[in-house]
Structures are given as C-alpha cells and as structure tokens.
Structure 1
Amino acid sequence: MDETTGTLVVGTFLTLDGVMQAPGGPDEDRDGGFELGGWSVNYWDEQMGEVMDSQFADADALLLGRRTYEIFAAYWPNVDGADDPTAAKLNSMSKYVASRTLDRVEWNNSTLLSGDVVEAVKDLKNERGDVIMVQGSQDLIQTLLAADLIDEFWLWIFPLTLGEGKRLFDDGTVPAALELTDVDTSSTGVQMLRYERAGEIDHGSFTLDEEAE
C-alpha cells in the first residue's frame, strides 16, 4: 500500500462476473468486438440517482483515462447542472486526464497529466490530500491496481452476467484485504458497495489437525 496522503477511489459499474466494459451504451466501447454495451441502463431507479449524487458529493476531484474522458466531456457539459447535481459537480470539479495521445483537454477545470502515470498519480494524491475518484478508465485502473495506489472501491454490482468483456480485476491485481463500509440495494437488485483497504490478507486453513498418536 502506498504512503501518499490523499485517498484514491475507484467507482465503477460491474456485472456479477466482473465486467465493467461499456455499461452506458452499445457504442461506448466496442474493443475486442464487444457487442453487449448498455447493460446497466434499464436497472436505474430513483435511489440509484440519489446514491450517485451522494458519491460525487464525497469526491473532490476526478481522474480519467482518455476514452472515459472523451465520453464524459461529450456528454456532461450538455446536461443542465441546475436540474442535475451530478452534472453540476462533474462540470465544476477538478479533473485529471491520463493519456499518451491527447495534446490538450478542454472540459472545464481539466488538466492533462504528463510523464509516468504512476508517479503523476502519487504526486497528485500528495499534493491534493483529498478524495480523488476514478470513473470508468479500465486500462488506467489496471495500472493503478498493479502499483497498489487504490485506497477504496465504490462498486455497483448489477444482477447479470455477460461472460466476456473488460474486467475490473485483471492480471496484475495486488492481493489485498478489504473492509465493507457501506451497502445500499436498489429496487432493481443493484448493490452499491463501498470497500476500504484493510491491510494484508490474513491467511488461515480449515485443515483438521492430525490426531495425536
């Protein structure tokens, strides 16, 4: 676990089998020939909107990969913040974009991170000292997982399986114990879970001791 002062949170939508690819629409991310996008849309209810507003209220800054930044930047500036607290927060909060291909970022209060992404995120956590949330950004999350930089997971588990697609916990995930700190369940069966890092894994065994001779 890194020793930086800020809190890095991964907030993402997942299927029961761990897929996070393209929850919001068929054309969101077709990498690998993925044709099952939009799987989260028909599960939304009023409670999920309230929890979403609450979670973004708890975040101080947003960290995004290139693809998710482009999706968000094309959508959220067109949503009226007067009627949508999440839009108001996203459009006004500080945003940091990790990309090797973008030359500039134009969404309000966005900054392009340069150089090594792991070192840039460590510096960002130390400089800010507050809560930075990663949304989407599967490729970026794999780098952050391998570097052991993630402090909390805010996971929304949708009651379906896809059998294919990009997964949150892929190769390179560091073994770690987690503590469940909050649970909400929507009327459609979506579980909204918060986990915090809880040190190392405490290994044990159910093997029975051999009887004394």
Structure 2
Amino acid sequence: MRITLATYLSLDGVMQAPGMPQEDTSGGFEHGGWQFPYADEELGKDTAKWFAEADAFLLGRKTYEIFAAYWPTVTDEDNLIAARLNALPKYVVSTTLDKVAWNNATLIRSDVLDEVARLKSRPGRELQIHGSGALARSLLDHGLIDELRLWTYPVILGSGKRLLEPGRVATALRLIESKTTGSGCVLSVYQPAGKPAYGDFTEESQAD
C-alpha cells in the first residue's frame, strides 16, 4: 500500500485544531476551528475522492481520539468519509493508550517503524494518514510517506503545532498537483524526490 498524508495548514504551517474550537487546546492554543470559514464544496469533493481510495488508516493518538469521538456518531449512509472511517482497518500509534475501542481498530505500541513498513508492504491501495503530526513527521523523516496532500489556508495563526517543525530530515519534494479553491485555499500534492540538490548562483554568474 502507498502511505499518503493529508492535512490542513495555516499559511504559517500550523495544523492544530482546524475543525472545532475545543478540538485540541493543548499548549494553550486558542485558534481552534480556524479552517471553518474557508470550507467549500471543492474541499468536500476532493476529500471524499481521496477517502474513496483508502484501504486502511494510520492515526496518531490525538487524531484517533478526535475521530473516534465523532465519526461513529455519523450514521448517514451517504456520508462516504464516515462509512470509510467506521468500516476500514485503523492502526493507532500510541504508547499511552491501553486499548482502542473503535470498530476495526488495532493498537501499535512499539516497533512503530517496522510495523508501518510491514503494513506498507501489504497489497492494496492507500494507507492514509490524516493529521497525526508527530507520527507524520517521524514517518517522513524515515522515508515512509509516498505522498503529501497539503491544504494551505489564507490565515496566519502565530502559534500552534506545526507539521514541519525545525529538525526535519532534509528532503526534496516534487509537486504533482496544485489547485486553488474559491475560498482561497491552495491544495499542493507532493511526492518525495530524494535529497535536496544544491548550487551556487555566483558560479553561474562567473560562467556568463
């Protein structure tokens, strides 16, 4: 399976609590629900399209707790996202949880990289990560993520958890898709492209 990451970001890279004011207030975060004013039909269509490609989900503890508290309550049979999340296998990475009660959920408490690599080697379409910043950063650093789907919103928050914090492993990316929604949100889809390349503009000027 391909491992894909989808997440919502402010212009300054914050991914914390996009959906609701009380979604995640850790660290004194006061901007929960910042994505809501920019939600539009285009976002919904693209999100549903990607969820339809999932064969399983890989979630960090915080994202799992947020999802498990909400999505099982959505019983609309026409809601594709709820149907996929409630029915498909979910692998939850946590060293603090003792059990996971959501239907078809499995807890991963140790040997995370080996376990994720084993899941990745299975046949299927996509093993999807949604949010789950700490998990995503670790897997990206170890070259286990095949595609990043980043929704960047026209808002600066100034504080909060970021997807790409300092200390990341240097990685080049290749842009394979880009679009802008009517609300001003920019979707950028990237695939890892090895190590960054470097050059020197002064040498180029001297050659001219």
- TM-score where L is the length of structure 2: 0.92
Are 2:70 and 1:75 aligned?
Answer: yes
Q: Residue 166 of structure 2 corresponds to which residue in structure 1?
A: 171
Task: Look up the equivalent residue of 1:26 and give its one-letter code.
Answer: P
Aligned equivalents of 1:128, 1:39: Cα separation in 2? 37
Aligned equivalents of 2:22, 2:38: Cα separation in 1? 19
Q: Residue 186 of structure 2 corresponds to which residue in structure 1?
A: 191
101, 110, 125: which is aligned to 1:106? 101
Runs of 5+ in structure 2 lacking a partner? none
Aligned equivalents of 1:70, 1:203: Cα separation in 2? 42
Task: Look up the equivalent residue of 2:136 and give its one-letter code.
Answer: I
> Secondary structure at 2:122's aligned position in 1?
helix
- TM-score where L is the length of structure 1: 0.90
Residues 66 and 128 (structure 1 numbering): CA distance in 2 closer, same or farther, change over 3 Å? farther
Moved more, 196-205 or 151-160: 196-205
Contact 2:55 2:124 in 1 (8 A): no
Deviations 1:162-207 (A, max 9, x none): 1111110113322111111122321101112211112222222211
Deviations 1:94-113 (A, max 9, x none): 11000111121121211111
Q: State the aligned residue count.
A: 207
Residues 179 and 146 (structure 1 numbering): CA distance in 2 closer, same or farther, change over 3 Å? closer
Are 2:39 and 1:44 aligned?
Answer: yes
Runs of 5+ in structure 1 lacking a partner? 1-5
Give the percent of matched residue pairs that are identical in Structure 1 and Structure 2.
Answer: 49
Task: Look up the equivalent residue of 2:120 and give its one-letter code.
Answer: K
Contact 1:145 1:172 in 2 (8 A): no
Q: Residue 119 of structure 1 corresponds to which residue in structure 2?
A: 114
Aligned equivalents of 2:206, 2:177: Cα separation in 1? 43
Aligned equivalents of 1:70, 1:185: Cα separation in 2? 31
Aligned equivalents of 2:15, 2:144: Cα separation in 1? 19
Contact 1:15 1:162 in 2 (8 A): yes
Residue 129 of structure 1 and its aligned partner are, at CA, apart by: 5.3
Task: Give RMSD over aligned pairs.
Answer: 1.8
144, 159, 177: which is aligned to 2:154? 159
134, 137, 154: which is aligned to 1:139? 134
Moved more, 93-102 or 83-92: 83-92
Contact 1:154 1:194 in 2 (8 A): yes
Deviations 1:81-123 (A, max 9, x none): 4131111111111110001111211212111113221222112
Q: Residue 3 of structure 1 corresponds to which residue in structure 2?
A: none
